[in-house]
Amino acid sequence: MNDGYIKVYRKMMRSRVFQNEGLFKIWMWCLLKANHKGQWIIIKTGRGTTEVWIEPGQFIFGRLTAAKELKMKPSTVWKRIIKLKNMRNLNIESNRLYSVITIINWEFYQGREKKGTSKVTTKEQPSDTNKNEKNNIYAQNFLSFWKSYPHRLAKKKAHEAWKKLEKAENITTLLPTLLDAIEKQKQAKEISKAKDEFTPEWPNPATWLNGRRWEDEVETKKRWDHATG
């Protein structure tokens, strides 16, 4: 993770993140921290340890470690991480032991270039993307959904449901709606748990897709931001 490089596109200068120097610093830090390939990470859990599988574009997050590396207050780091989450730059999933940050669309923006190629033009990029999708059973749109969905089980069945959905819908247009629905449902479950109410578990992703569960009505009037990490 300390070797190699990341891609930074010039159009970032027109982004909302670029307008805030503190937010931009944390965003760049997240990009630099993200794994470029999947690997098992060992995490201390009190007296013992546990192993966590981290996908490309993910990394283990802790507020205190981040604050030390960024030279910011832990509360400031956390607020800006939540802001980046709300801006759909990243997702963060937490439990009582650790948090995992996922950079949204990591594969699309950080995909490896062909050997001997240093530049990719705007005209070339869609063609290259299509080729990558043909060579990879899981296309980028599906992977974006998969990484956003909290209960990642039965990937093959989920992909079959996704392909079925692609035949009925314009999946590129629908994807933002799916991701937004997932985030709202996450918030609703956080609220329910904070109130000690019964909170149903997430269905398998194939069930969620086949049942068009993104159309469920959820209540997200209150936010419960927990200081995890």
How far is CA 89 from each of CA 106, 219, 226, rounded to the nearest angstrom? 10, 23, 19
- Beta strand 90-94 pairing with 99-103: antiparallel
Residue-level pLDDT at 2: 57
What pLDDT shows up at residue 134?
44
Q: How far apart are CA 119 and CA 72, in angstroms?
A: 36
Residue 73 is predicted with a pLDDT of 94
What are the residue ranges spanned by the domains of the chain?
1-113, 137-220
Q: For the chain (length 229 residues), average pLDDT per consecutive 10?
A: 76 88 94 88 80 86 92 94 91 82 83 47 41 55 87 88 89 85 87 82 91 83 46
CATH of domain 1-113: 1.10.10.10
Q: Which residue bears the tokens 């956390």?
A: 78
Asked whether the CA dihedral 126, 132, 137, 143 is positive or negative, the reply is: negative
